[in-house]
Structure 1
């Protein structure tokens, strides 16, 4: 059996990861902030606008320490077997415009899905100065052909679209150079930039990073559900369902709930991000969120 089940729960500390104001600004631009006009999203795209303090998009957390999770202890399967199935982030406090975190990562779960296996890789980001928990991310990886090892099937999924029209649909067009900008955050996988390699693996052209699409959805949720208040942002999770090509138009349908929202992203009729869910930070901590629902109604 290729998956190293004995390593579940073993966490290892990675190298400190530092970022600057410029890195946070670049990330915001790479997920479409400011594309609706130069005066829009100034808090995320500028650091010196009069009367506007710089803020950091919560989904920037996926970039921090993103290279810390080693694949060595997960199993002896090939990289070609791995699909990025989903992503979850939880913010325990607002992200600073600059700082240093220490990533602590490891395999947190492995599930037997029959033909395939699913592995969850968890990363805790600790403030390098105080060791305070800043954010947590969980990366879900589908390992093709490695199921049938007799492990647990995993928890049942409760996600569903409410039986009513979406409360809001946010439509944004990605730019033709979207992937070229996003890769500057650190993910230099040539699948997103090299036309020849993209064709070798079955795509007509380079595709957009799934985490970039997630960033677009995260901005939509932040604006429509949180009223752009980064201090309320808690947990966001998505399932990657289909590839997006730079230049595609993303339609994010959002249904507000008592504790946050559920959402789905489509390109035309194709669902590209599925099973999207969001919970306010106070909901994650078990506190009342009535005032947030009223503010964004």
Structure 2
């Protein structure tokens, strides 16, 4: 990786008109609709008084495969999505246009052969008013770029889960075709659709997108702590710890402490933690 060029990379603002169809397709992709006659699901899937599912802020106005630019010299084939967080400043609305402004904020070098962490921020603004709608942060693990230098030396500690037993859990089953639906929201990486390429990448079959798994966990938090009211979700962050396979059941265990909800998610069939160190902040009812 060429650290100087990565830090100096200029991202063009990405304009994203948000229509009702895209909003409903995203919601369907993360499994909303399992309760097809329930108003809690229909609010995201039916055009009458449509609400936009909050975790859609992670997906819209995405910069695409910018790390593949040759001048950056990033070993992008070895990139992994490590962490993701978002904070809602106001809800998304179908029919409005949003603009994503991106920048690389920091790089932490773990040393030769150990990879590095790249920290990236998106500010999502409503085009007409320029009001900030959401702040989205991502951490990427560049396994092949250790020894390239960095800007910081210490990794922020992950959110610590309470040591007591969980206060409850939400079970949500993903569809076998979940990745094929979710990819229509813009992430066409073939390891989520092509069995041969997924095996070549080291997976037994196509895996679910990490941000789709995040969307499923967000559904669980809305059910467990927000009474399915999306406007009550202020922020959410988590670590990706293992991939999910479409068709698996995700059990999201949670702990409530005032307006903070800690959580982790497990693939039930394999008893594997797939999302960890989760923290959500909730607005009071």
The verdict on a shared fold, with TM-score over 0.5 as the criterion, is yes
Matches for 1:10-29 after TM superposition, within 5 Å: 12-29=11-28
On the 8 A contact 2:14/2:62 being kept in 1, the answer is no
Counterpart residue number, 2:125: 126
> Contact conserved, 2:108 with 2:155, CA < 8 A, in 1?
no
Q: Secondary structure at the match of 1:199?
A: helix
Q: Does 1:254 align with 2:254?
A: yes
Q: Aligned-pair RMSD on alpha carbons?
A: 2.1
Larger mean CA deviation between 36-45 and 124-133 belongs to: 36-45
Partner of 1:111: 108
1:98-177 mapped onto 2 (5 Å cutoff):
98-114=95-111, 115-149=114-148, 151=150, 152-177=152-177
Q: How many angstroms apart in 2 are the aligned matches of 1:132 and 1:157? A: 31
1:169-189 Cα offsets, whole Å, 9 max, x none, are 000111110000000101111
Deviates more, 1:242-251 or 1:146-155: 146-155
Q: CA deviation at 1:198?
A: 0.9
**Where does residue 273 of structure 2 map in the other structure?**
271
Q: Quick check: 1:25–1:44 contact (8 Å CA) kept in 2? A: yes
CA distance in 1, matches of 2:160, 2:259: 15
**Alpha-carbon displacement from aligned partner over 1:177-221 (angstroms, at most 9, x marks no partner):** 000000010111111001111111121211110111100001111
CA positional deviation for 1:248:
0.6
2:228 is equivalent to residue 232 of structure 1: no
Match for residue 196 of structure 2?
Answer: 196
How far the C-alpha of 1:149 sits from its partner, in A, is 4.5
TM-score norm. by structure 2 comes to: 0.90
- How far 1:74 moved relative to its partner? 9.1
Secondary structure (helix, strand or coil) at the match of 2:72 reads coil
- 1:235–1:163 Cα change, 3 Å: same
Aligned partner of residue 246 in structure 1, secondary structure: coil
Provide structure 2 residue ranges, at least 5 long, that are not aligned to the other structure. none
1:126–1:134 contact (8 Å) kept in structure 2: yes
Instruction: Kindly indicate whether residue 40 of structure 2 is the aligned counterpart of residue 58 of structure 1.
Output: no
* Secondary structure of the corresponding residue to residue 137 of structure 2: strand
Unaligned runs of 5+ in 1: 281-288
With normalisation by structure 1, the TM-score equals: 0.87
